[in-house]
Chain A
Amino acid sequence: MDRKREWRYLLEIVRYGLDGGDCPCSEEQPDWEYLYRVCKRHRIEGIVCSALEKMPAELHPPMEILEKFRYTWKVETGREAVQQFALEELLDAYEKAGVDCVLLKGILVKKFYPSPELRMMADLDILYRPRQGKRVNRILLSQGYVCDHTDDNHKVYFRKPFMNIEMHHRVVYEGHFSDYYKDIWKRVKLQEGKKHIYCMTWEDFYIYMMVHLVKHFQGGGSGIRSIIDIWQFTKVMKDRLDWKYIERELDKIKLNEFVRHMQKLCGIWFGGGQTTGFYDDLTEFIINSGIYGTVGNSHISRAIFSGDNQRKGINYRHFRATLRIVFLPYENMCKKYSWLKKYPVLLPAAWIYRIVHFCFKKKGKTTEVFGSTESERKKILERKELFDKLALPER
């Protein structure tokens, strides 16, 4: 079976796992080793397993692969139970301590799946008011979390064995959507019975899902799960949303066309819609991205979305993007070498150390990064064409 047919078959299985209907069938056995790897990269093993358990045995993968699917589904069920408890525990504490917070991303989107463990969630994403940061930190530390790292957007807390909490102090990174979300706290609503736990309206949540997807497309790419999220959410909510409001808001941030493409893609993947060359290319991009994108994609995106370099040609932007990988900006270098904060004048020395370290100690990674910069021109041009048709806005 060629890869495109295998992808179509996999998406049919996903559709069957979440929506029922006609059982997917194939006269030819797919390459199940490959399909399992795809499922693993996209963290959809649970969904596929739930479908396989309903399908006739002759359509099952080899037993050793089926057992892998089953095992992961069990693990995700356990993870879901732990995350449910941890979230309740944390929100109770926030409510009692008067900490305002907004629930984001997977915490909410999994409610639209037939069963919550089918929507794997690596971490809990919660927005808080920066002025309440100390209180947030105290509560998390009292519950046994440690602050793993901080960046421009959020602080990440970890508790063994696998609980990750991302406390966001803003909804989006600096860029195209910052202005749109600067008054987010005026647009959220309190959860029933709560004084401090907020959610976006469902219309705003739909818009946020799309904005978040754009952010990933503009970075390393995004996976199958993002499209499944849109499909599941829209399926449940389509008759309950104010679509005129959504269209007006999407127009403000120039996302109407992008959203139309995403909905069309859902229709093709899960609704039996007719595909085209463009949507085949988009499918290939998404499937090859994996759940969180790839280094290669990030590099290509950096060349495409180069801010004030937009007027320069692709060669120049490619060159600049390569330089940025080799000579990381000071802020990024400080995350890797904290002594630079005290001695910023040593930045050139830190660059040299990093280059030597990668050349001798991390040859594989160096090859991955620079290998991915070769043959780039054609890829950049092709990707730019895809992004232009998708009407992705500037970063």
Chain B
Amino acid sequence: MKRRVVITGIGCVTPLGATTDELWNGLTAGRSGIGPLSLFDAENFPVRIAAEVRDWDLWDVGENPRQWAHCPRQTTFAIGAGLKAGRSAGLESSRIDPVRLGVYLGCGEAFADFDRFTQSISRTETGSDAEREFNSTALRIFDPDAECEFEPNLPASHLAALFDAQGPNFNCIAACVSSTQALGEAARLIRRDDADVMLAGGAHSTIHPFGVTGFQRLSALSTRNDDPATAVRPFDRERDGFVIGEGAAVFVLEELEHAQRRGADIWGEVCGYGSSQDAYRVTDTHPDGRGTATAIERALFDAQLNVDDISYINAHGTGTVLNDKIETLAIKRAFGQQAYQVPISSTKSMLGHATTACGAIEAAVCLLAIKHGVAPPTINYSTPDPECDLDYIPNIAREIDCRHVLSNSIGFGGQNAALVLSRFDEASAAAAVLWAA
């Protein structure tokens, strides 16, 4: 029998707040989390806005920030969201077999210390031995504790330590679909009986000189520096790029009967997951949206649902000219005529683009939509684009009875992933148990 996977805890750290309530209140009020970039002096940068996590540190979860001071910002987000998720699921007071509790994160690449990196380069003479010389300078000036924390397996190791989670331990990086895939694959590990409980999600911050340099060179960023709150305009004709965001969301995924036995509160169910590749170009998505459509179709097939079962789509909706146009095409391709009926929104209009963490944060948004029966809006939507002609829930949150929702993610390199999250249905759970008996 198919092992069902439910969600028994959520933790988040976002530009709109570090609790699900704050996040939800901000989103449904249509509040923007975007403001002037403050994490470094960006005065002379072409882009000077970002969606930053403000006024938050690890004291929020009872950890002394000084003990984690050598960690990159995103690692502290992962720890914050992970501890919140675990506590909301009551993991610390439940006796869970350590080898049946695992971690699967989609924490993004961390970058070196920009100041020390550029210093090392400026102190190195060009020539045949440049790499060697760079190495000896770097060895002298980099902070060893901080450097080793940049390795991409570290956040998953820290979460395992905090929860004594001795089960499967993964981190994936698949650009902006990373944490969507982390949730999907973690659910699969539970279905395959490799674990009973998984902490899954992602964390990322690219609000540093490397990140702004990289995205700016890719011409991906909005340059509306003078009006940060209206800078991200997904599906609007005047959209001009995304705004870099940051944050984390971590879920506790759990096998249904395991959750029921320990009397855990159930937020919802992971019913479907799909991953695909455009196999087109590393820089652009396929012009027909074929890969995105395939991921959506797979997720629906996995959930054994039809397109008219989906009550809401949380789109990737970055606010770049290309993404929003092609994502619209892909939704039409996967949903047919139903594409014009299903309400869609991009919460990146308020949260910015948290890169590898966006999928997990948006999955949290989907669960909140299911819980409250409300879908958050796409803000800054004022001028319709003939190429984006679907219902994007413009500007005002809408009451929708959400039974099954779809969270869609698209990433550089041609990556696509989609999740179907559903309201937990006691009746169908009872039926499944009877059927199994």
A binds B: no
A residues contacting B by CB (< 8 A) are none
